[in-house]
């Protein structure tokens, strides 16, 4: 399997469903990872490529909805496509509100499922790219000195150098020097870009990441 080949996990306790979906997924050029239960799925290593999960609602251990709650916290780059033999409106609403990209009732056409899979994998690619970007920003932020972090936290709120100096008890010239270092280390080309970086890092009033 290529390191770039997307992975499609299938969690369904019906072996015939798993086998048919495995063939379908493989024929589409993706790598299938069939599992018979939620616990088997949770024991598998996380995919390091774009991925998604085709998930049956009714499973022998954890229910599909319970597993969805775990996945949404621990595997944020894994969109979920629910499949069920007897879905109802409240169940569908609950799954979709919790972030499922599709809720299909068996039987469904191969093309319908694969359209959902392709959409889910695109969502996964976007999530992974965003997380990679945030990791780069975290690394840049960690290179700041404590004082530079303090200056950045105040600058992105819109304070002028003179006001930042007053808040920190340092000269305007010193603030300007620290601000230049912040822009260089964060690789920010402008103040709006730095503000956007701070927002992506979830920097609030504290100059340190939580």
Q: What is the CATH number of the domain that holds 149?
A: 1.10.10.10
Domain assignment present for 66: yes
The alpha carbons of the chain give a radius of gyration, in whole angstroms, of: 23
Tell whether 122 and 147 lie within a shared domain: no
Tell whether 147 and 125 lie within a shared domain: no
- Sheet of strand 80-84, all strands in order from the earlier edge strand to the far edge: 31-35, 7-11, 51-56, 80-84, 102-105
Within 10 angstroms of residue 38's Cβ, the number of other Cβ atoms is 23
The verdict on pTM exceeding 0.75 is: no
Q: What is the CATH number of the domain that holds 85?
A: 3.40.50.2300
What's the domain range around 40? 7-131
Instruction: State how many domains the chain has.
Output: 2
Q: How far is CA 121 from CA 5, 9, 13, 34, 91, in A?
A: 11, 11, 23, 17, 23
pLDDT tens for the chain, 210 residues long, are 445 899 999 999 999 999 999 999 999 999 999 999 999 999 999 888 999 999 998 888 888 888 998 898 888 889 999 998 876 767 777 888 878 889 998 888 999 999 999 999 999 999 999 988 999 999 999 999 999 999 999 999 999 999 999 999 999 999 999 999 999 999 999 999 999 999 999 886 444 433
Tell whether 91 and 181 lie within a shared domain: no
């Amino acid at each position: 399997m290529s390191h770039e080949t997307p992975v499609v996990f299938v969690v369904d306790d019906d072996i015939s469903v798993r086998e048919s979906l495995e063939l379908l997924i493989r024929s589409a050029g993706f790598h299938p990872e069939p599992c018979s239960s939620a616990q088997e799925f949770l024991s598998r290593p996380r995919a390091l490529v774009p991925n998604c999960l085709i998930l049956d609602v009714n499973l022998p251990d954890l229910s599909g909805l319970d597993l969805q709650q775990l996945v949404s916290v621990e595997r944020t780059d894994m969109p979920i496509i629910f499949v069920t033999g007897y879905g109802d409106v409240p169940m569908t609403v609950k799954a979709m509100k919790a972030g499922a990209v599709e809720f299909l009732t068996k039987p469904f056409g191969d093309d319908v499922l694969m359209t959902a899979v392709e959409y889910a994998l695109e969502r996964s690619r976007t999530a992974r790219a965003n997380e990679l970007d945030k990791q780069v920003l975290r690394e840049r932020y960690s290179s700041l000195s404590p004082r530079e972090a303090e200056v950045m936290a105040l600058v992105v709120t819109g304070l002028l150098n003179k006001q930042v100096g007053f808040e920190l008890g340092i000269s305007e010239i010193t603030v300007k020097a620290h601000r230049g270092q912040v822009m260089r280390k964060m690789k920010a080309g402008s103040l709006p870009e730095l503000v956007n970086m701070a927002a992506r890092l979830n920097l609030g009033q504290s100059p340190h990441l939580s």
